[in-house]
Amino acid sequence: MNDTVAPPGTQAVDRAALLIDTVVRADEPLTFLEIAESSGLPRSTTSRLLSALERTGLLERTETGSYVAGRLFGLYATRHDPFEAVVRLARPTMTRVGRDTGETVHLSVARNGHIVQVAQTDSRYLLGSRDWSQIEVPSHCSSLGKVLYAYGAVELPTGELARPTPTSIGDLASLERDLADVRRRGFAVTVDELEEGLAAVAAPVHGPDGDVVAALGISGPTQRLGDQLEELGRQLKDRAEQLSVLLGRRTRKEGVA
């Protein structure tokens, strides 16, 4: 038995901290009943504390009513330790995408004007893509790079564009048309542009203020992915939006005055 006695008046704080810990550590948004059952607190107490935590921005609800970490967590992540925190929050989502598709999953961010891959989950297939985390590639040939270009996370390249394959985009006008398509459909696609036989798709991840802070993508052999890219793009767009919610993005409805 624990003989430690909490100081007077701290019980509510301890219980609130328990609820925050339960939600923040969860891999997916939790319903009210899941939180109440996991915490062991009475439903009335859980409801009262969750309401208070919502008001203070420590927790918030998704459009379906489930609870996720609040905007203050996302705000801290993107201002203080953006890359480490984003990667930490993205890991469960990357694992789910890898499980659903079997392909290599990537996460890239814009850092000092450059596009950098900060995390990767490997394919379950023997014939997958390589580890790109330490390889610098022409970003306009990458689906991840196209996403970050399309949403203004990094400035467009200038001068002559590298063409690693005959399919690569070779001029700025063509790139801008491609980026307009990215914004229209909400995801980017590349087929044999970075490397012959390699296809990829990526979608934007938004931070608390709505700006794109990362790109979530998958890649694999063109022969395996080629006919599925549009469907994979839509699925990845949904997963990236779920990650955006975890980072504290305001929904469109909440942002309307």
- Inside any domain, residue 256: no
Sheet containing 114-121: give its strands across: 114-121, 104-111, 212-221, 198-206, 188-191
Give the per-residue pLDDT at 116.
Answer: 84
Which is more confidently placed, 56 or 124? 56
Do residues 127 and 170 share a domain? yes
Q: Where are the beta strands (DSSP E) in 12-127?
A: 59-61, 67-69, 104-111, 114-121
Give the per-residue pLDDT at 257.
Answer: 29
Overall average pLDDT of the 186-192 stretch: 96
The most confident of the ranges 64-78, 83-97, 148-162 is 148-162
Q: Round to whole Å and give the CA distance between 250 and 247.
A: 9
Q: Round to whole Å and give the CA distance between 230 and 241.
A: 17
Token pair 């196209």 in the structure block, residue: 146
- Inside any domain, residue 257: no
- Inside any domain, residue 141: yes
Do residues 54 and 124 share a domain? no
Give the per-residue pLDDT at 190.
Answer: 95
Confidence band of 17 (pLDDT split at 50, 70, 90): very high
Domain edge (last residue) among 44, 69, 94: 69
Average predicted confidence (pLDDT) for the chain = 84
Confidence band of 70 (pLDDT split at 50, 70, 90): confident
Indicate the burial class of 220 (C-beta count within 10 angstroms; 0-12, 13-18, 19 or more). Answer: buried
Do residues 104 and 27 share a domain? no
Do residues 194 and 144 share a domain? yes
3 state SS of 199: strand
Do residues 125 and 144 share a domain? yes
Do residues 199 and 138 share a domain? yes
For the chain, give the percent of residues with pLDDT over 90. 48
pLDDT at 204 over 60: yes
- Inside any domain, residue 254: no
3 state SS of 39: helix
- Inside any domain, residue 251: no
Which is more confidently placed, 252 or 249? 249
Give the per-residue pLDDT at 151.
Answer: 95
3 state SS of 113: coil
Which is more confidently placed, 88 or 229? 229
Do residues 194 and 106 share a domain? yes
Supply the CATH number for residue 23's domain. 1.10.10.10
- Inside any domain, residue 27: yes
Confidence band of 185 (pLDDT split at 50, 70, 90): very high
Sign of the dihedral through C-alpha 124, 129, 112, 206: negative
Give the per-residue pLDDT at 159.
Answer: 81
Overall average pLDDT of the 165-187 stretch: 95
pLDDT in tens, 212-223: 999 999 999 999
Element (H, E) at 191: strand 188-191
Query: Would you say 162 and 213 are in contact if contact means Cβ atoms under 8 Å apart?
Result: no
Confidence band of 5 (pLDDT split at 50, 70, 90): very low
Give the per-residue pLDDT at 4.
Answer: 45
- Inside any domain, residue 6: no
Do residues 44 and 121 share a domain? no
Domain edge (last residue) among 21, 53, 69: 69
Do residues 95 and 220 share a domain? yes
Instruction: Name the domain count of the chain.
Output: 2
Phi, psi of 205 (to 5 degrees): -115, 125
- Inside any domain, residue 152: yes
Q: Which two tokens stand for residue 251?
A: 């929904």
pLDDT at 228 over 80: yes
Give the per-residue pLDDT at 254.
Answer: 40
Q: State which residues form the domain around 213.
A: 75-246
**Nearest in space to 244 (alpha carbons), one of 126, 7, 74:** 74
pLDDT in tens, 75-113: 665 555 556 777 888 888 899 999 999 999 999 988 777
Supply the CATH number for residue 156's domain. 3.30.450.40
For the chain, give the percent of residues with pLDDT over 70. 84
Do residues 132 and 46 share a domain? no
Do residues 50 and 141 share a domain? no
Do residues 115 and 205 share a domain? yes
